[in-house]
């Protein structure tokens, strides 16, 4: 997804904007640009990585203490220099950067072109500066013209806009994330906090339809929804910049895998009243839906097995993008649990909108407090995992699992037992992320790195682990990895097995007998069997030892495969933190 950052203050803007773009890289992008204001606009933009563009165009000689910048993840229009942001109006007096999708841009563009506006790009974004220009022609000032322009936009946006004759930033959001950083005598506006965290921990979370006016003398927020000025409080985040840096690790992915020693414990550090509140909502619900996308969906799937096992409770697990097709069952007594690391996934926000329209109660489980999802929920639980920078979800997944497992224990009146069991896992995870184990996994990665297909099987909870493991491998190494429920093999998938086909088998005490017979079926057709299992077995060609952890198996068994996926990417010369075509938060539908 695109990333935006703006700065107004007393320091040279370019280094602040450049470093901010670097911290937004993990969101996924294909081009970037910066514009600063120093009497005139000074703008440089191009396709490629931020560092590459800087080498070619040298951002550092852009003058001024005010500017906005952008990393573009193409939605409308190809990856070209013309389509890179910032975009300007006909006279080059207005500059805009944008994250989101303007759904009615064709109609707006048609009207603007018929009024003589000349467009330079194929993007939806470019209609914004031209629209502001058109409205200013009718006598409104820049800020009011921007408000009017925003009212005619349909879709989602996080926008920063400048006018070359005015020393101010207009920052607006609807459906895409935008936070304001407040420092002494200066303001930042960015897609998320790591972009300016080194400068300030004081943040203002913008609400949907908020429009902030940032000047040297202060900040004012206008709500298009409420039709007037609003007060937004200044929060202080407890992250420190080291959490948003790689430290001694080569990639955020490996750093965040290693952080799971602590983050699983942090996930369960929930107060008794918070847990009791959630337990009460669950007990009083008539129908429960867990909704999420991607990895968060896999955590919900695992949760459904755990809630069934520990609490004899049925919950519906639905992909957020599919949820609107379920709306017929929803009633005001339905509890919808929306799970999203970023709290900005468009499919999840859309599903929650449907559910709220039906009067459902919304409980969300997020890792970013102040995200859109926390603001549209009746209540939320915080994973406390700290910023997850890598595009791949790793620590947030095991934190989601830990939190769901804790809730399952709490629902059966065993909160303290649950906390104890989950806190104990730290030394299991510590061992599984040790250098010795990584070396062993590297041996496996060497064997698999040139494979075209990898299959993964499991039963029960281990089936959900197989699904998540397949996603990890495919999204970072680009090897086609596919998960099957062990019992499904004979219903078709086993036709795919050829000589040497690798298959990762997740084994637990509960499912050992059946899943090992599935492994033998694959082996007898030439498959190469990798066992993720507490005990070795003759069917295994390669054994990854993981301790039996019963209901906590999903937390423990995914870790070696997170490491395997990472090592496959590195061995294949890929960047684990920036997989192609992917973004950290899918803020468009
Ligand atoms: C997981 O590795 C992927 N990055 C992706 O599937 C992700 O889990 C999904 O987009 C959901 O993101 P969210 O948890 O922020 O909603």
In degrees rounded to 5, what are phi and psi of residue 452? -90, -35
> Which of the listed residues 243, 277, 294 is the one where a domain comes to its end?
243
Question: Helix 553-571 to helix 415-432 angle, to the nearest 10 degrees?
Answer: 30
Q: Is 2 annotated as catalytic?
A: yes
230 CA to middle of ligand 1, Å?
32
Shared domain check, 207 and 254: no
Q: Which helix (H) or strand (E) holds 136?
A: helix 127-137
474 has pLDDT over 70: yes
- Give SS3 for 584: coil
Residue with tokens 């070619």: 56
Cβ neighbours of 270 (radius 10 Å): 22
List the residue whose alpha carbon is closest to atom 16 of ligand 1. 340
List the residue whose alpha carbon is closest to atom 7 of ligand 1. 294
The answer to whether position 311 is within a domain reads: yes
- Give SS3 for 32: strand
> Ligand 1 atom closest to Cα of 471?
2
Report the chain's mean pLDDT, rounded to a whole number. 93
Choose, from 2, 300, 390, 503, the residue flagged as catalytic.
Answer: 2
> Ligand 1 atom closest to Cα of 292?
16
Choose, from 93, 164, 395, 584, the residue flagged as catalytic.
Answer: 584
> Ligand 1 atom closest to Cα of 585?
15
Residue-wise pLDDT for 207-217, tens only, equals 989 999 999 99
Rounded-to-integer distance, Cα 295 and Cα 290, Å: 13
Shared domain check, 88 and 134: yes
Shared domain check, 236 and 97: yes
Mutational test site, ligand 1, from 293, 318, 338, max ligand atoms within 8 Å of CB? 293
Shared domain check, 269 and 213: no
How high is the pLDDT of residue 329? 83
Residue-wise pLDDT for 100-145, tens only, equals 889 899 999 999 999 999 999 999 999 999 999 999 999 999 999 9
Q: Is the dihedral of CA 418, 423, 424, 430 positive or negative?
A: positive
> Which of the listed residues 432, 463, 491 is the one where a domain comes to its end?
432
Residue among 457, 474, 472, 587 nearest 531 (CA): 457
Q: Which residues of 426-457 are buried (b: 16+ CB within 10 A; e: fewer)?
A: eebbebbbeeebbebbbebbeebbebeebbbb
Rounded-to-integer distance, Cα 402 and Cα 419, Å: 9
List the residue whose alpha carbon is closest to atom 6 of ligand 1. 294
> Ligand 1 atom closest to Cα of 320?
16
| Residues whose beta carbon lies within 6 Å of some atom of ligand 1 | 293-296, 340-342, 345, 348, 391-393, 475, 585-586
Confidence of residue 28 (pLDDT cuts 50, 70, 90): low
Span 75-95, average pLDDT: 90
List the residue whose alpha carbon is closest to atom 3 of ligand 1. 392
1 has pLDDT over 80: no
465 has pLDDT over 70: yes
Domain residues for the domain of 233 are 3-243
List the residue whose alpha carbon is closest to atom 2 of ligand 1. 392
392 CA to middle of ligand 1, Å?
7
Shared domain check, 360 and 253: yes
Q: Which helix (H) or strand (E) holds 156?
A: strand 155-163
296 CA to middle of ligand 1, Å?
6
- Give SS3 for 63: coil
Mutational test site, ligand 1, from 345, 478, 562, 583, max ligand atoms within 8 Å of CB? 345
241 has pLDDT over 80: no
77 has pLDDT over 80: no
280 CA to middle of ligand 1, Å?
28
List the residue whose alpha carbon is closest to atom 9 of ligand 1. 294
186 has pLDDT over 90: yes
Shared domain check, 352 and 323: yes
Cβ neighbours of 73 (radius 10 Å): 20
Shared domain check, 230 and 352: no
How high is the pLDDT of residue 588? 67
Percent of the chain topping pLDDT 90: 84
158 CA to middle of ligand 1, Å?
20
The answer to whether position 462 is within a domain reads: yes
The answer to whether position 586 is within a domain reads: no
In degrees rounded to 5, what are phi and psi of residue 72? -105, 130
Percent of the chain topping pLDDT 70: 99
List the residue whose alpha carbon is closest to atom 5 of ligand 1. 294
74 has pLDDT over 80: no
Shared domain check, 446 and 415: no
**Which domain CATH number covers 531?**
3.40.50.10490
How high is the pLDDT of residue 27? 67
Shared domain check, 540 and 394: no
Residue among 419, 381, 383, 415 nearest 399 (CA): 383
Confidence of residue 557 (pLDDT cuts 50, 70, 90): very high
Shared domain check, 281 and 188: no
Shared domain check, 164 and 78: yes
The answer to whether position 79 is within a domain reads: yes
Rounded-to-integer distance, Cα 299 and Cα 339, Å: 9
> Ligand 1 atom closest to Cα of 294?
6
List the residue whose alpha carbon is closest to atom 4 of ligand 1. 392
3 state SS for 259-319: CHHHHHHHHCCCCHHHHHHHHHHHHCCCCEEEEECHHHHHHHHHHHHHHHHHHCCCCEEEE
Q: Are 289 and 337 in contact (CB under 8 A)?
A: yes
Confidence of residue 347 (pLDDT cuts 50, 70, 90): very high
509 CA to middle of ligand 1, Å?
30
Span 339-355, average pLDDT: 94
- Give SS3 for 256: helix
Which residues lie below 8 Å from residue 526, measured CB to CB, with a gap of 6+? 497, 498, 499, 500, 501
The answer to whether position 589 is within a domain reads: no
537 CA to middle of ligand 1, Å?
34
Residue-wise pLDDT for 254-311, tens only, equals 999 999 998 999 999 888 889 999 999 999 999 999 999 999 999 999 999 999 999 9
> Which has the minimum average pLDDT: 12-16, 327-331, 418-422, 476-480?
327-331
Residue-wise pLDDT for 390-400, tens only, equals 999 999 999 99
> Which of the listed residues 432, 458, 490 is the one where a domain comes to its end?
432
350 CA to middle of ligand 1, Å?
15
38 CA to middle of ligand 1, Å?
40
Which residues lie below 8 Å from residue 268, measured CB to CB, with a gap of 6+? 402, 403, 406, 418, 419, 422, 423
The answer to whether position 587 is within a domain reads: no
Residue among 481, 427, 425 nearest 457 (CA): 481
- Give SS3 for 391: coil
Span 158-182, average pLDDT: 95
How high is the pLDDT of residue 176? 84
**Which domain CATH number covers 69?**
3.60.20.10
Rounded-to-integer distance, Cα 465 and Cα 483, Å: 9
Shared domain check, 525 and 492: yes
Q: Which two tokens stand for residue 368?
A: 């970013």
473 has pLDDT over 70: yes
Rounded-to-integer distance, Cα 5 and Cα 20, Å: 7
Mutational test site, ligand 1, from 338, 341, 562, 582, max ligand atoms within 8 Å of CB? 341
Mutational test site, ligand 1, from 177, 290, 294, max ligand atoms within 8 Å of CB? 294
Q: How many domains does the chain divide into?
A: 3
Q: Is 45 annotated as catalytic?
A: no
> Ligand 1 atom closest to Cα of 347?
16
């Amino acid at each position: 997804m695109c990333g935006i950052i703006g700065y107004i203050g007393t320091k040279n803007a370019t280094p602040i904007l450049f470093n901010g773009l670097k911290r937004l890289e993990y969101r996924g992008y294909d081009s970037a640009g910066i514009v600063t204001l120093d009497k005139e606009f000074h703008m440089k933009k191009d396709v490629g990585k931020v560092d590459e563009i800087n080498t070619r165009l040298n951002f550092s000689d852009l003058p001024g203490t005010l500017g906005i910048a952008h990393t573009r993840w193409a939605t409308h229009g190809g990856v070209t220099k013309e389509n890179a942001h910032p975009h300007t109006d006909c006279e080059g007096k207005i500059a805009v950067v944008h994250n989101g999708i303007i759904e009615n841009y064709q109609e707006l563009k048609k009207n603007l072109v018929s009024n003589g506006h000349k467009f330079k790009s194929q993007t939806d974004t470019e209609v914004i500066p031209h629209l502001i220009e058109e409205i200013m022609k009718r006598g409104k000032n820049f800020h009011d013209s921007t408000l009017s322009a925003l009212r005619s936009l349909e879709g989602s946006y996080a926008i920063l806009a400048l006018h070359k004759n005015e020393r101010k930033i207009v920052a607006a959001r609807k459906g895409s994330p935008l936070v304001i950083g407040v420092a002494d005598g200066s303001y930042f506006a960015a897609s998320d906090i790591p972009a300016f965290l080194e400068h300030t921990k004081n943040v203002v979370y913008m609400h949907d339809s908020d429009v902030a006016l940032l000047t040297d003398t202060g900040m004012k927020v206008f709500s298009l929804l409420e039709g007037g000025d609003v007060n937004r409080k200044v929060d202080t985040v407890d992250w420190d910049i080291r959490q948003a840096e790689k430290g001694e690790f080569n990639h955020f992915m490996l750093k965040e895998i290693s952080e799971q020693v602590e983050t699983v414990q942090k996930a369960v550090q929930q107060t008794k009243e918070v847990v009791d509140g959630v337990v009460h909502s669950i007990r009083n619900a008539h129908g429960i839906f867990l909704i999420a996308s991607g990895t968060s969906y896999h955590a919900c799937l695992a949760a459904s097995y755990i809630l069934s096992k520990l609490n004899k409770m049925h919950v519906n697990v639905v992909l957020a993008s599919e949820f609107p097709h379920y709306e017929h069952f929803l009633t005001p007594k339905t509890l919808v649990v929306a799970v999203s690391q970023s709290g900005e996934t468009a499919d999840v926000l859309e599903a929650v909108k449907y559910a709220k329209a039906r009067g459902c109660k919304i409980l969300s489980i997020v890792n970013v407090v102040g995200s859109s999802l926390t603001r549209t929920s009746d209540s939320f639980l915080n994973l406390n995992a700290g910023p997850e920078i890598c595009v791949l979800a790793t620590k947030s997944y095991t934190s989601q699992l830990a939190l769901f497992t804790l809730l399952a224990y709490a629902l059966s009146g065993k909160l303290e037992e649950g906390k104890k069991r989950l806190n104990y896992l730290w030394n299991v995870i510590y061992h599984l992320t040790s250098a010795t184990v990584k070396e062993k996994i590297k041996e496996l990665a060497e064997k698999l790195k040139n494979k075209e297909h990898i299959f993964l099987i499991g039963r029960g909870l281990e089936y959900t682990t197989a699904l998540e493991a397949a996603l990890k491998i495919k999204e970072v190494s680009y090897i086609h990895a596919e998960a099957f429920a062990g019992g499904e093999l004979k219903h078709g998938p086993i036709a795919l097995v050829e000589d040497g086909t690798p298959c990762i088998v997740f084994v637990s005490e509960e499912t050992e007998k059946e899943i090992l017979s599935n492994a033998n079926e694959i082996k007898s057709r030439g498959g190469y069997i990798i066992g993720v299992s507490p005990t070795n077995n003759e069917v295994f060609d390669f054994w990854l030892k993981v301790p039996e952890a019963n209901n906590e198996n999903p937390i423990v068994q995914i870790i070696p495969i997170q490491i395997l996926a990472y090592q496959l990417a590195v061995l294949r010369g890929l960047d684990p933190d920036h997989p192609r075509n992917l973004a950290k938060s899918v803020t468009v539908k």
